[in-house]
Amino acid sequence: MMPRLLLNGRFLRRPVTGVERLALELGRALRTLLPAVGGGDITVIVPPGTQVEPTIDELGSPRPPVRSIGRLFGHVWEQVELRGVDPQAWLLDLCNTGPIMRRRQALVICDAQFVLHPESYSRLFRWWYRILVTLVSRRADAVFTISEFSKTSLERHHLVPRGKAHVLRLGVDHLDGVDADPGVLARHDLARRPYILAIGSLARHKNLATLLDAFVAAELPDVDLVIAGGSNPRIFQSAGLREAPNIRYTGRVSDGELKALYAHALAFACPSLSEGFGFTPLEAMTAGCPVVATTGGAVPEVCGDAALYADPLDRNAWRDALRTIVADQALRSDLAQRAQIRSADFVWRETARQMLIVLARCDGNDMLLSALQDRTGN
């Protein structure tokens, strides 16, 4: 018998960034896989007044059933009201947190960035997350993370008991169903000459300042550096970062615009000090975009031999890598071919199957385990 599955839908109240993208895509993949292994649907549990449209459409069609419960919001809702909902069902917490007092839950903890890079987070956030993650991970029946790097980091800092977390191989095929919007090139005047693309954030561990310094030092006057992301480009321009006539900011872009930007970029740059997984370089790789990547965190684990690497703490290494990727067309072609081969291995349906196998083993559910290991579960 397939266990009932509930999805902690608190994330539906937030803008879609990397963590929310994981929840949406894994949720959709689980819903797609469940009928093939004799399961039903997933019920999404949300705080009162949650505006689920249009984000919930990304969980697939038809829409999953949604239940609004309680009177509270945020972490308090999660800890007080969500914890007791249908205690025999598996609660899927796909965005790092869940109710401390509930055992029957599958918790995904993406990374330990708030410990590895405390300068990117407030003291209150770090204090609360350390307590919350430590307690929830010990009580939850199933704990997952998204790379061997993240698993090691979580264990080293005693956030997750050693050996408890299962590593999920995430998917990146979510852009396959997105129509590219090449109009973004004209809207931002990017069609005239080649550009290197990066996804911008002022979080210090994203290391955008090093990339900008390296780009200016590389002296590439015929190439633009395009920084996508962020709600307002002026925030980046007023943050004391390096400026140059060929550094451009687009602000927040849609998935269709981002897919077009990847497809037309000369290369994609990911300079982060560390990443728990590395969605953006892997997304770029699906478009056949050559990647210049950090050696920090899980990015080498994810990108393998399909990227050109540079130490995120070495501005000169990044300067040289940018010069190399611009000058060497043969290298770009080789990396583009490797990138598409590498990225094809990251499929959300397989991520969903990995999670359900762990839940089936926790329950001793041999019938479900057999179905998941059969061809119909692949």
What's residue 378's pLDDT?
A: 46
Q: Which of 318, 266, 272 is nearest to 289 (CA)?
A: 266
Do residue 129 and residue 191 come from a single domain? no
Q: Are 40 and 132 contained in the same domain?
A: yes
Q: What share of the chain is helix, strand, coil (3-state, %, to 5)?
A: 45, 15, 40
Residue 175 to residue 180: CA distance in whole angstroms: 9
pLDDT of 377 reads: 44
Residues 137 and 282 in one domain: no
Looking at the structure, tell me whether residues 153 and 266 fall in a common domain: no
Distance CA 328, CA 50 (A): 50
For 328, residues 6+ apart whose C-beta sits below 8 A from its C-beta are none
Give the pLDDT score at 236. Answer: 59
Q: What is the CATH number of the domain that holds 225?
A: 3.40.50.2000
Residues 221, 336 within the same domain? yes
* 365 DSSP 8-state letter: -
- The beta-strand segments (E) located in 157-214 are 165-167, 195-199
Q: How many CB atoms lie within 10 A of CB 46?
A: 23
Q: Which domain holds residue 34?
A: 5-171+347-377
pLDDT along the chain (378 residues), means of 10: 90 90 97 93 97 94 96 96 96 98 97 92 94 98 98 98 98 93 96 94 88 97 92 59 88 94 98 94 96 97 97 98 98 97 96 97 94 67
β-partners of residue 166 are 144
Non-local (6+) Cβ contacts of 313 within 8 A are: 210, 273
Tokens, residue 188: 């931002």
- The answer to whether the bond into 62 is cis (omega within 30° of 0) is yes
Q: What is the CA radius of gyration of the chain?
A: 21
**Pair 204, 120: CB distance under 8 Å:** yes
Residues 224 and 133 in one domain: no
Q: What is the DSSP letter of 54?
A: T
Do 337 and 365 belong to one domain? no
Q: How far apart are CA 75 and CA 97, in angstroms?
A: 9
Please indicate, yes or no, whether residues 320 and 282 belong to a single structural domain of this protein: yes
For tokens 């000459």, the residue is 193
Q: Are residues 185 and 280 in the same domain?
A: yes
Same domain, 109 and 221: no
How many domains, in total, are found in the chain?
2
112 and 217 co-located in one domain: no
| Nearest-angstrom CA–CA distance, 297 and 306 | 16
Are residues 203 and 337 both part of a single domain? yes
C-beta separation of 53 from 17 below 8 A: no
